[in-house]
Chain A
Amino acid sequence: MVGFLIRRTGQSIFVLFLVTVATLGMVHLFPGGPVRALLGVRATPFLINYYNHLYGFDQPFYVQYIKWVWQLLQGNLGFSDKLNLSVTTLIAQDLPKTVILVTLGTVVSLLFGIPLGVYQAVRRNSVADYVLTGISFLGYSTPTFFLGLVLVDWFAVHIHLFPPFAPQTNSIWGIISDPRALVLPVFTYAFLLYALWSRYMRSSVLDNLVQDYVRTARAKGASERRVIWGHVFRNSLVSIVTLLGLSVPALVGGAILIEAVFNYTGMGLAFYQAALNNDYETLLGFTVLVTLAAVVGNLLADIGYAVLDPRVRY
C-alpha cells in the first residue's frame, strides 16, 4: 500500500504539472493577450505594455511558470483584478457554500438512491420497480435548471411554501440554520444524483445476486436479509465508490445551474463568471484546485476499493 501511495503521488504530481502548464499556456492564448482581455476595449498600447510588464507577461514562459508555481506553493492562488479580491478569499467565500450544497445533495441522494436501488433489484420487474425506474428516468432526463425553475415557480412564487432562493448569507452557520431555504436547491441537486445511484446500485446488486457466493450463503442457511445486507450490499458498493470518487471535483467545481437558479454563488458560478470576464487569475487558481480535487478523489476511490474488497491489494 505504501508503494502504491508513493506511485500514485508521483502520478498526481505529473498530472498537476501538465494541467498547470496547459492552463498557464491557455491564458496566453486569449486573443490580444491576457492584459487586453482584462482591460477591454479602452486599453491603449501603452497601458497594455505597462500592465504586461507589471504582471510579468513580457517575460519568457518558463520564468512566468516558475514564479506562478512558487506563488502557488506559498498558498497564494493569485489576485483577481476584476473582482478586486484574492483568489484565496474568493474560494474561502464560495467553497463552503458549494461544499454544503453538494454534500447535502449527495447525502440525500445516497440515502434514497442506494436503498431504493437495492429494493428495485430484489423486487425487480415488480410494479414498484417500474415506478421507481420511471422516477429515475425522469430525474435523469430533466434538465437541472428546468427542474429548479419549476420548483421555484410552484413552491416559492405561487404557493409560498419555500423561499425562492438558497440562503443568501455567506456564513456557514447562517446557511445551515436556514433549512427551509435549502430544501429546493438540495432537492434539485439530489434528484439527478438519486437517479444515478439507484440505477447503478440496482445493476450492481443484480450482478451480485447471481454470483456463486450468494448461492453458497443461501445454501448455508443465511437469511435473505443477511444475504442482501451482509454480503451483496458491500460487494455492490464498488461501482458507487467509483462514482463517488469521480464526484469529488464537484465539491469544488460546484453546481453552476443550481447556483444560478437559486441565487447561490458557489464555485461553479464563480468559475463561469471568471471565464466570461477574462479573469485569468481566478481561472488559474480554480483550475489548480479542481485538478487537485480530481486527483485526490481518484486516490480516495482507489483506497476505497481496497477497503471494500479484500482481494484488491496494491
Chain B
Amino acid sequence: MFRNRRRSRIARVAVAGAAALLAVGIAACSSSSSSTGGSPSTSASASSTAVAAPGGTARIALPAGLTLSYIWPFTPLANANEYNAEQFQMELYRPLYMFGNNGNSVAVNYPLSVANAPAYSDGGKTVTITMKGWKWSDGETVDASDVVFWLNMMKAEPNNYYGYVPGLLPDNLASYSATGPSTVVLHLKSAVSSIWFTYNQLAEITPMPKAWDVTSASAAAASGGCAADTAADKYAKCKAVWTFLTAQAKNAKTYATNPIWGVVDGPWKLSSFTTAASGPVTSFVPNAAYSGSPKPQLANLTYYAYTDDSTEYTALKTGQVDVGYIPPQDLPPVTNGQVLPSTDPLGSNYTLAPNYAFGIQYFLINFNNPTLGPAYRQLYVRQAIQELIDQNGMIKSVDRGYGYPTSGGVPTQPKSQWVPSVQNANGGQGPYPFSVTSATTLLTSHGWKHVGGVMTCQSPGTGATQCGAGVAAGTKLSMSMDYATGVQVFQEEVAVIKSDMQQAGIQMSLVPQSFNTIIGESAPCKPTDAGCKWDILNFGGWNFNGPGFEPTGEPLFATGASSNSGSYSDATMDKLINLTHTSSSLSVFQQYAAYLAQQLPYMWMPNAYIVQAVSTKLANVGFNPLATTLPEYWNFTK
C-alpha cells in the first residue's frame, strides 16, 4: 500500500513483506515476541522478572491526525489504510491467514490464522484450504462457507474492494467451492507460485460469518444467500448483501452497538467507538469466545486520537498513554550505528523500541516526459542520478540518524531472505552508492558536457559513448522536482538533493506542491498528454502491507500498473515479475529483486523508522513491520 511519508513519519504504515523462507514451503511463525536474526529488537518489554498482573487498560496513541473509520474488512479504496486493517478490523475479524507476529517477523503466521497452511497440488493449479474450526462469538463455526462468502462477494463487487486487481483474485480462479464443512478447494486458471499465491492472494481473504449474510437487521443468518450464490444470477444476492452491509458500515456511530459487527472471531470485540478525532476513540474488550491463543490478558484496550505530534508527545510526558511514539523532532541525534538514543527523553517511565516499516522510499521520474523522457530511459542517466543521492548524509543530517538507505525494490528491514545480496552492497546503499565523481564520469563518458554549468548532450546517438536513443543534441539535464509540502523532512532532503545534483551539472528546480496536487499529477500519462510535463514527483514510498505481503512489485514496476506513475516499462522486468507469480523458487525472486535494484525504475531515498515508547508497567509489547498489532500478548506487571 502506498505510504505517504508525512503519515509514515508518525505512524507505522508498515506492511507486508515476506519473511524468511526456509524452503519452497512457507515458514510458520510462532508467537514469540522477540526479534530474530540480526535485526534490531522491536520489542519493548518490562523486566522479565516482573510478575504479570491480569487486567488493566492499555492506552495506545494513534498517529496524529488519524482515526479509525471503517469496520468491515471488505473495504473500499477510499477507506483503505493500514490502521483500519491491522489495528482495527484484524483485532475483531481474523483474516484467513495472518502475517507478522508480536516481534519483527514478516512471515505468514499459521498459529494465529483461522485456517491451516494451504496445500498446493496439481502443479500449483489447485489449492486446498482446511479450516481449523474456530468459533464465531455467536457460536457458529468459522467454516468453509464463510470463505466462499468472501470470494462470492469479491465476484459480485470487485470495484468496491480495495485489493482487487483485474486478472488477479478472484478472476484467476477457474472455480472454487466448499467441498466439506471445513474444506475449500480453489481451482486456478493457471499454475501459480505457492508463496506468491499465499502471500499476495489468499492474504486478501477474510472469512465472513453467516450473521452477515443478510439483507436486513432482523433477517435470519445466511438468509441473504450470498455464500451460496453463483454466477447464474450474476451474484445478485451478494450485491444485495453488499448494499446492506455497506449501509451498516457507513453508520460508524453504531459500530459498538450494532449486533452485526458484534459477531467476531478475533481476540477482541468492540466495546465503544466514536467518530471523534481526539481523545479516547475506540475501545476493545476480550472476546471470551476466541478460539485462538494466546487469550488476551488485558481487560481493555483503548486507542487515543491526537490532533498533532505535540499533543501526542504531551500525552506521553504526562503519562496519559501507555504506548506511543516520540516525534522525530523531539529525539536527540544518534550516531555510529546507534538505533535508539542513549538518553530516554521520557525518563524511566517508558522504554523505547524502534518500529520499522516493511517498505521502500523513493521518488518517481517520468519516463514519458516529452523533453527528458528519452534521457531518463537511459540506465546510465538513472545511475548517475542515484549516485548523486547522498542517502547516508541525509540520514545523518535530516533524519538525525533514525533511518537507513533504500537500496532497491525490496525492503531491507527487517533482514529477510527476500533481499538480494546486491542490495546489501556498499554498506546498504546497493549497487549505486553516493559518488559525485562516478556520476559525473557516467555522464561525460556518454557524450554529455558542462555547458553553462548544466550537463548538455553533445554527442547524440546510440553508440556506447553517445547520449542514447531519442536524446537530441543540446538536451540539457535541467529538471524540476515536485515535492509534497507540509513535511519538514521533505524540504530538507530536496535541498540536499538539489545541491548534490548541481555538483555533477544536473540542474534541479524545486517546486513545492500540495500533496493533493502531486496525487493528481501521479496518474500515469503519455508524452502528448497536457499533464505529462512533470519530471520528478517526490511524495512518499510504498509499504508491502497488503493486500500483498510478498514484495513482488507488480503494482509499482510492471508495465501499465496503476501505481507506476512514471510509466516505467521494461519487458525483462515484466517477465521476471510474472515468473515470481508462477515459480516458488527463491532464486527466481532473487533474480527479479537483483534486476530491480540494478534497473532503477525509481530513485531510492532514505527510509526512516519510528521510535516507540512503552510504559514500563506494560510488558511484551512488540512492533511488527507489517503493522500487525497483537495486544493479546501484552500484559501489565505488578
Contacts and interface: CB of A to CB of B under 8 A. Distances in A.
B278 interface: yes
A81 to B, nearest CB: 4
A165 interface: yes
B520 A260 contact: no
B520 A156 contact: no
A50 B77 CA distance: 12
B515 interface: yes
A278 B519 contact: yes
Contacts of A45: 523, 562
A164 B318 contact: yes
A112 interface: no
A31 to B, nearest CB: 2
Nearest to B162: A42
Interface centre among B70, B307, B311 (most CB of A within 10 A): B307
A264 interface: yes
B276 A93 contact: yes
A193 B279 CA distance: 27
Contacts of A126: none
Contact of B307 (A39, A82, A160, A259): A259
B306 interface: yes
B515 to A, nearest CB: 7
Contact of B519 (A37, A85, A260): A37
B536 to A, nearest CB: 15
Interface stretch (B19-27, B249-257, B424-432): B249-257
Contact of A32 (B1, B280, B515, B520): B520
A243 interface: no
Nearest to A86: B250
Contact of A170 (B1, B252, B274): B274
A145 to B, nearest CB: 9
A30 B275 contact: no
A290 B218 CA distance: 41
A42 B562 contact: yes
A149 B311 CA distance: 9
A93 to B, nearest CB: 6
Nearest to B276: A170
Contact of A31 (B78, B486, B516): B516
B380 to A, nearest CB: 28
B176 interface: no
A51 to B, nearest CB: 8
B9 interface: no
B314 A46 contact: no
A156 B253 CA distance: 32
Nearest to A41: B2
Interface string A70-104: 00000000010111110001100100000000000
A43 B562 contact: yes
A122 B24 CA distance: 90
Interface in A261-288: 261-265, 269-270, 273, 276, 278
Contacts of A43: 77, 523, 562
A85 B277 contact: no
Interface string B514-535: 0111111111000000010000
Contact of B516 (A30, A42, A263): A30
A169 B531 CA distance: 46
A152 B517 CA distance: 36
Nearest to B280: A168
A160 to B, nearest CB: 8
Interface in A17-56: 30-33, 36-47, 50
Contact of A84 (B252, B274, B306): B252
A60 to B, nearest CB: 22
B317 A157 contact: yes
Contact of A41 (B250, B253, B563): B563
A89 B275 contact: yes
B307 A46 contact: no
A263 B70 contact: no
A15 to B, nearest CB: 27
Given A43-B562, A89-B275, A273-B277, A156 B166 contact: no
A168 B159 CA distance: 38
Nearest to B67: A83
Chain A interface size band reads: 35 or more
B315 interface: yes
B308 A84 contact: no
Interface residues of B, number: 51
Nearest to A165: B311
Interface string A219-262: 00000000000000000000000000000000000000001111
Given A81-B78, A84-B249, A170-B274, A276 B565 contact: no
Contacts of B520: 30-33, 36-37
B275 A85 contact: yes
A122 B259 CA distance: 67
A276 B307 CA distance: 13
Given A37-B519, A42-B162, A42-B562, A263 B279 contact: yes
A50 B311 contact: no
Nearest to B562: A44
Given A164-B315, A269-B307, A85 B278 contact: no
Interface in A157-182: 157, 160, 164-165, 168-170
Given A31-B521, A38-B78, A93-B276, A46 B166 contact: yes
Contact of B310 (A37, A261, A278): A261
Contacts of A50: 159
A193 B595 CA distance: 63
Nearest to A264: B278
Which of B1, B249, B280, B310 neighbours the largest number of chain A CB atoms within 10 Å of its CB?
B310
A168 B77 contact: no
A314 B192 CA distance: 81
Contacts of B2: 40-42
B55 interface: no
Given A42-B562, A156-B318, A170-B274, A37 B516 contact: yes
Given A36-B519, A39-B77, A40-B2, A84 B314 contact: no
B545 to A, nearest CB: 12
Contacts of B314: 152, 156-157, 164-165, 263
A283 to B, nearest CB: 11
Given A41-B565, A81-B79, A47 B159 contact: yes
A263 B166 contact: no
A281 to B, nearest CB: 11
B69 A84 contact: yes
| Most chain B beta-carbon neighbours within 10 Å: one of A37, A93, A265 | A265
B307 A264 contact: yes
A156 B378 CA distance: 58
Contacts of B276: 93, 170, 265
Contacts of B250: 79, 84-85
6 closest cross-chain pairs (CB), A and B: A31-B520, A32-B520, A168-B279, A265-B277, A81-B78, A44-B562
25 contacts: A30-B520, A32-B519, A32-B523, A40-B519, A42-B2, A42-B562, A43-B523, A46-B166, A81-B78, A84-B69, A85-B69, A164-B318, A164-B320, A168-B280, A170-B279, A260-B307, A260-B308, A263-B278, A263-B279, A263-B306, A263-B314, A265-B278, A273-B277, A278-B516, A278-B519
Given A169-B279, A270-B277, 12 more contacts: A32-B519, A32-B522, A40-B77, A83-B67, A84-B69, A85-B252, A149-B310, A164-B315, A164-B318, A261-B307, A264-B307, A278-B516
